[in-house]
Amino acid sequence: MDLKKPRRIGIFGGAFDPPHLGHVALARAAVEQLKLDELRVFPTGQAWHKARELSPAAHRLAMAQLAFSDVPRACVDGRELQRAGPTYTVDTLRELHREFPGAQFLLVIGADQAESLHSWRESGEIARLATISIAARARPITAAVPVDASRLPPGPREPVELPPIPVSSTEIRRLAGAAEDITRLVPAPVARYIDQHHLYPTN
């Protein structure tokens, strides 16, 4: 009898413009708590639900590689950056199911993303193809609030416990643009990369 457990593969997508310590903490917590064999980090193409023009794909890919290089079992997968047009998570999940038959997929998302998950393309299919793993996310002002479960597509869930880390890429871009210090908010190699490439120029 084959008692081999299915491979557990975490999927963690984001614009990562830039990646910050909240992302890295979430990735580490997901690998440990969900007992992942692998965490695949996907810098997204131009996400359909984000109106802002993102930094060039090559920079976001390079920063993600720097940010997640110390996270055990994490690897950066750049496939969504090569897709023409908008990024849809359901397409990536379908591809991964074909590539890793028999694996179990866990979609790791922060609470803010979880709240809009019902509006993602084919959200019911996403919840069928992956276990949804939600981590609390601190809002800039209010304390972290639990996600309203009635708004989530039905399907298996495994939460990730994460102390609220009140940092966002928006805030980092704002600080960098005002020539203020960002070194406490991003991994050191990412701070150097932003500086060397003048990624978020001062206004």
Residue 112 binding ligand ATP, by CB under 6 A:
yes
Question: Pairing mode, if any, of strands 74-76 and 104-110?
Answer: unpaired
Task: Please give the structure tokens belonging to residue 7.
Answer: 């491979």
Task: Please give the structure tokens belonging to residue 84.
Answer: 């023409």
Cβ neighbours, 10 Å, residue 190: 27
Candidates 15, 36, 81, 107: give the one binding ligand ATP (CB under 6 A): 15
Candidates 137, 182, 186, 200: give the one binding ligand ATP (CB under 6 A): 137
Smallest separation, CB 82 to ligand ATP (Å): 18
Residue 87 binding ligand ATP, by CB under 6 A:
no
Among 80-88, 105-113, 125-133, 188-196, the segment contacting ligand ATP (CB under 6 A): 105-113
- How many residues touch ligand ATP (CB under 6 A)? 19
Candidates 16, 68, 105, 193: give the one binding ligand ATP (CB under 6 A): 16
Contact 186/20 with Cβ under 8 angstroms?
yes
Among 1-9, 18-26, 75-83, 95-103, the segment contacting ligand ATP (CB under 6 A): 18-26
Among 84-92, 104-112, 176-184, 185-193, the segment contacting ligand ATP (CB under 6 A): 104-112
Contact track, ligand ATP, 140-179, x by CB under 6 A: ----------------------x--x-xxxx---------
Among 17-25, 94-102, 119-127, 187-195, the segment contacting ligand ATP (CB under 6 A): 17-25
**DSSP readout, the chain?**
---PPPPEEEEEEE--SS--HHHHHHHHHHHHHTT-SEEEEEE-SSBTT--SPPPPHHHHHHHHHHHHTTSTTEEE--HHHHSSS-B-HHHHHHHHHHHSTT-EEEEEEEHHHHHHGGGSTTHHHHHHHSEEEEE----SSSPP----GGGSPSS-B--B--------HHHHHHHHHTT---TTTS-HHHHHHHHHTT-S---
Would you say 164 or 189 has its CB closer to ligand ATP?
Answer: 164
Binding site for ligand ATP (CB under 6 A): 14-17, 22-23, 26, 109-110, 112-113, 135, 137, 162, 165, 167-170
